[in-house]
Structure 1
Amino acid sequence: MSKRKFRFLKIFFKILIIIVSMILLYFIVIIAINSKKDYNPAISEDLEIKKGRNAWFFSDKSISIISWNIGYSALGKHEDFFYEGGKKMRPDKEQYKEYLKSIFNELGKMDTVDFVLLQEVDINSKRSFYTRQDSSLAGALPTFSHVTAINYNVPFVPFPLFNPTAKVHSGMMSFSRYIPEYAKRISFPFGYAWPMKVFFLDRCFIIEKFNLDNHKSLYIINTHNSAFDDAGDIRIAEMIFLRSYLLNFYENGDYVVVGGDWNQNPLGFDKTKINTGDYVREIEPAIENDYLPKGWKWYYDPKTPTNRDVNTKYEKGVTTTTVLDYFLCSPNITVNEVRTINKHFENSDHNPVYLNFSLQPDTAFCDSLKIYEKVKEIKSKEKGKKKR
């Protein structure tokens, strides 16, 4: 080997070692900072309730609820996402504004329902241009009470390497026409091991309790379970943990509705029943048949997908879709309707899902309805007497 060639290789390897060392140092510093500032919430935390106007439960003969993962207003039909095989970290700013505006408008149209459950709402994140989405979206439902629970709070996400996601501060929101007795953030006590945990979400669910005048309660739960194929075991553990709360509430004679992004297919899901022309896949592991005792039921629209893959922009019939968003109800609840509101993934990688249900005959809802009808009857008779 000539001296010139040897000198060249020596310089090359020195430069290579310096570059590798700098990259390693970069990640070591980020892991150290994220570890020091790691978000570590308690298992149970009380949430601040931003109170709206209080409505009467007997104003309608049924109760309605919508669950929607809004994809932090940055995963509309034109977007892909680097972590799932795409290239982008976020859309351009003008496109982002269009997504947020459209989601705000869609949310405003939901003011006729009783409850709205949102997932992936950014509070102060680079990926959504540091917009306070929680404050903005609260303005779409100004008469509703609402709570916010943080489930993603990381100082710096270093990927993609040349355009890092950086700061992420995000969470979930639950809106209600009624003022809850209390609202709690419950942490799923499972997740990735260190150091991966300092870059990922701290998963949780929101519990809202609504007292009824028959000394029972209605529990509305907003959940967002772990995603990605490598989180299968974590999802199973989360489901077992959630089950303990559900059974406890129901055994006390109360009513339970759980909605959200479960990141797994519902029990009985059959991809061949999707009739929208979309390409569909099934997610493993499936929810077990004996997950809950007899009477508990999963409710979803079997004909319409609720989620799309974001490895590429959305193209009907080509992009992979599935059902991840749905509801679970206790045996003392009667479901009247469930349907996916097919927005064709226009503004989010998820479609909203609507559920209409009734509390069974011995509930305060039905008692209050009878009282309401009786009051109307009395007032009608009084008007008749005055006319005479």
Structure 2
Amino acid sequence: MKRRGLWWKIPTAALALVLAAVLGYLCYALLTYYRVEDWQTLTVNGQGGGPAETDRSYKLLSYNIGFGAYSPDYGFFMDGGDYSRAFSEEAARANVTGALETAAGQAPDFVFLQEVDADATRSYHVDEQQMAAEALGGDMVWVSAQNYDSPYLLWPLTCPHGASRSGIMTFSACEVTGSVRRSLPVEAGLTRYLDLDRCYTVTRVPVADGRELCLYNVHLSAYTSDGTVATEQVKLLAADMAAEYAAGNYAVCGGDFNKDLWEDSAAVFGVAGEGQTWAQPFPEELLSGGIRLEVPDAGAANPVPSCRNADGPYVPGESFVLTVDGFLVSENVTVEAASVVDTGFAWSDHNPVLLTFRLEP
């Protein structure tokens, strides 16, 4: 009888161990979650040129480099694809190098980068921020802000996504007097463990006429279940920019808005996006106070998309594509051109976008 009793104790003990492991992991995820403080002062690195000038053209390039994972044959598990990490450390380095060379090749005066890992399981702990600083920071001032520092995500079980410390970086060929990180609203429920922290940065460039050029680098939320969060993020950003414009300064924002800037990219690019609930139209009605949206390639006969869906390998003409990367500018900024740099999604699931502008005297 005692031997038969052991039969029941073994699976019971195993189940208890599994439950203890699950509870332990949940406690770890809950206890290690935190948000970076708002209004965090950022370190300004390097030395750029002098102040910005009015009545001359500047080029700003914005590029979500996708933590070095998204070669054209890559699909991300959170988008319906098969992979949770870059294919290898070598692949991550190659993709980041390709993206940085593409950015430098446009000879921009300002560069905004998003999804640049500092130390992450998904990118094999490659310090992509150091790579960017070495590639672009020689003749530019640069600042880096931590967008999120996630606990170890134990999913998928066969190849966990792991822990991610990632950020956004701003480079300027002009002088920079300061930069701050602004925390964006995020969901309060369990979804926040998937969408993580979110922020934008405000980097101040003095202008020769005594005013300031305020550069906003932004990466808004993607995996939200509550649409009001996305609305509140845009409201905060737009109000901040409007306040700077009201104070007499210039405001230019670029980045990944994770919103369909065309409102209906499926109609523009001829590829249906069934089930792509994250690709909601950008709420342009929230912009006021002299702030307007600039959609790249808006006047082009054959516009190029800035983003592909990462539910699998990129197949031209079949994969869902849209434009989520673009710009917001204040009324005292004249836009000469806004375009998408067509890389064929060679290094990321995003193409870089380029803004040529002038500051009105």
TM-score range, shorter chain: 0.7 to 0.9
CA distance in 1, matches of 2:268, 2:157: 41
1:103 match: 99
2:141 match: 145
In 2 relative to 1, CA 313–57 (structure 1 residues): closer, same or farther, beyond 3 Å?
same
CA distance in 2, matches of 1:269, 1:333: 27
Residue 181 of structure 1 deviates from its aligned partner by 1.3
**Contiguous gaps of at least 5 residues in structure 1:** 1-6, 363-388
2:318 match: 318
Q: Give the stretch that moved more between structures: 243-252 or 289-298.
A: 289-298
| Counterpart amino acid of residue 123 in structure 1 | A
Residue 347 of structure 1 deviates from its aligned partner by 0.9
2:253 match: 258
Residue 248 of structure 1 deviates from its aligned partner by 0.9
Superposition TM-score, scaled by structure 1 size:
0.82
In 2 relative to 1, CA 322–21 (structure 1 residues): closer, same or farther, beyond 3 Å?
farther
Which has more helix, going by share of residues? Answer: 1
SS at match of 1:149: strand
Q: 1:39 aligns with which of 27, 34, 49?
A: 34
CA distance in 1, matches of 2:147, 2:108: 25
CA distance in 2, matches of 1:320, 1:24: 40
**Contiguous gaps of at least 5 residues in structure 2:** none
Matching of residues 168-187 of structure 1 within 5 Å: 168-187=164-183
Matching of residues 251-290 of structure 1 within 5 Å: 251-266=246-261, 271-274=266-269, 285-290=280-285
Identical amino acids, percent of aligned pairs: 26
CA distance in 1, matches of 2:73, 2:155: 21
| Counterpart amino acid of residue 205 in structure 2 | F
Residue 175 of structure 1 deviates from its aligned partner by 0.7
Kept in 2: contact 1:148–1:173 (CA 8 A): yes
CA distance in 2, matches of 1:267, 1:319: 17
Rg comparison, structure with higher value? 1
Q: RMSD of the TM alignment (CA)?
A: 2.6
CA distance in 2, matches of 1:41, 1:80: 29
Kept in 2: contact 1:232–1:284 (CA 8 A): no
In 2 relative to 1, CA 19–279 (structure 1 residues): closer, same or farther, beyond 3 Å?
farther
SS at match of 2:151: strand
Q: 1:165 aligns with which of 161, 164, 178?
A: 161
Residue 99 of structure 1 deviates from its aligned partner by 1.4
Equivalenced residues, count = 349
- Report whether the alignment pairs 1:357 with 2:357: yes
Residue 19 of structure 1 deviates from its aligned partner by 5.7
- Report whether the alignment pairs 1:154 with 2:150: yes
Kept in 2: contact 1:79–1:313 (CA 8 A): yes
Residue 95 of structure 1 deviates from its aligned partner by 2.7
Residue 229 of structure 1 deviates from its aligned partner by 5.6
Kept in 1: contact 2:51–2:207 (CA 8 A): no
Deviations 1:246-303 (A, max 9, x none): 12111111111111000001265554333xx765678654233431237532112241
Matching of residues 319-334 of structure 1 within 5 Å: 319-334=319-334
Matching of residues 367-378 of structure 1 within 5 Å: none
1:191 match: 187
2:46 match: 51
Q: Give the stretch that moved more between structures: 94-103 or 114-123.
A: 94-103
2:228 match: 233
Q: 2:109 aligns with which of 114, 118, 133?
A: 114
Kept in 2: contact 1:66–1:352 (CA 8 A): yes
Kept in 2: contact 1:278–1:316 (CA 8 A): no
Superposition TM-score, scaled by structure 2 size:
0.88
Deviations 1:196-233 (A, max 9, x none): 43454210001011122322111110010000362532
